[in-house]
Amino acid sequence: MITYWETGTSFTRLNEFQPNCWINSQELTNEEVEVLISEYNVPRDFIMDVLDTDERSRIEIDENNVLIIMRVPLNNQNNGIPFITVPLGIIISGSQIITICSRRTEIIPSLIKAVNENKITISNQFDYVLRIFLISAVWFLQFLKEINVQTALIEKDLENATKNKELHRLLRMEKCLVFFITSLKSNEMVLAKMRNSRNMQGIDHDEDLMEDVIIETKQALEMANVYSDIQSGMMDAFASVISNNLNVIMKQLTSVTILLMIPTLIASLFGMNVPNSFENSPFAFGYVIAISIILSLAGILLFKWKNWF
């Protein structure tokens, strides 16, 4: 879907293209891809790179255009891994700016809401790019907090777990963190190149905003690394916990099996076709039951005393 927005102190959606407006495209169809290529001169190779979910962040600068690919977080609850990252492409061509993403993310709506509510003035395209990086870092931090909350819930379930289901859930959280760490590192490299590139030094930008973006990105990266280290140790610890829980259950079942063998053994002995002095006693069945109960209780007391039960 391609939408057009008028920029300034606020974002206003337009019904059709106007010069110097912001062109936002998400969840593109093949027809919309051809529109971007033919009508707005977007390089086909760049669009194909953005639509590739494994594309890394990078920046390309030439005389007329600045092509940026960054990684942004995405809530992916309907598919195995709850949080992933996808490429977001940004094209700056003169006073024209175009954003491209293969999925619908929270980054663009959050940017529009922040600008419209806070009346933030975006003076040039470079500051616009920095705002997108800042919003992306904020969403990384928010999703990291959600990952931490879900990990805490999984941790409670793991305390008494004997199956691998909870470990698989924890593994999915670990995959989310790996995606986040990789994406944040590549975004950080793009920001460093934007700050230090000679081609970008002639463009006016808000230095304080640049500093805020770098700080938020580094904070998100550090949090992701800390959570990843914690989860790695947690997975090793809880793998041992699950194994120990299973051993305890097997120990209890073995104890029950041994105790059940006692009355079976007594009944088998007295059921043999040999003289045992109870052949003619009317109380033989009661004696056998009494002996079985007494020996079973003795076995239970022995297991309790040895702490085997």
pLDDT more than 90, % of the chain: 8
CATH of the domain at 163: 3.30.460.20
Same domain flag for 194 and 294:
no
Q: How confident is the model at residue 79 (pLDDT cuts 50, 70, 90)?
A: low
Contact predicate 209/130, CB 8 Å: yes
Same domain flag for 217 and 260:
no
Please report which residue ranges of the chain form alpha helices under DSSP H: 30-40, 44-51, 107-118, 125-158, 165-196, 198-201, 207-270, 284-305
Contact predicate 114/46, CB 8 Å: no
Same domain flag for 187 and 295:
no
Same domain flag for 67 and 170:
yes
Same domain flag for 252 and 213:
no
Same domain flag for 239 and 260:
no
Same domain flag for 250 and 232:
no
Total count of domains within the chain: 2
What value, to the nearest 5°, has the Cα angle with vertex 143 and ends 128 and 164?
150
List Cα–Cα distances, 232 to 167, 170, 283, in angstroms.
11, 9, 65
Same domain flag for 72 and 128:
yes
Same domain flag for 202 and 253:
no
Residue 298: what pLDDT?
85
Same domain flag for 263 and 237:
no
Name the residue range of residue 264's domain.
246-305
Domain boundary among 194, 210, 245: 245
* Distance, CA of 228 to CA of 211 (rounded, Å): 26
Same domain flag for 236 and 266:
no
Q: What is the pLDDT of residues 130-184, one digit of tens each?
A: 888 989 999 999 999 988 888 888 777 766 655 667 777 778 888 888 899 999 9
Residue 185: what pLDDT?
92
Tokens of 164: 């691998």
Report strand pairing: 96-101 vs 22-26: parallel
Q: State the pTM of this model.
A: 0.74
Contact predicate 50/32, CB 8 Å: no
Same domain flag for 146 and 262:
no
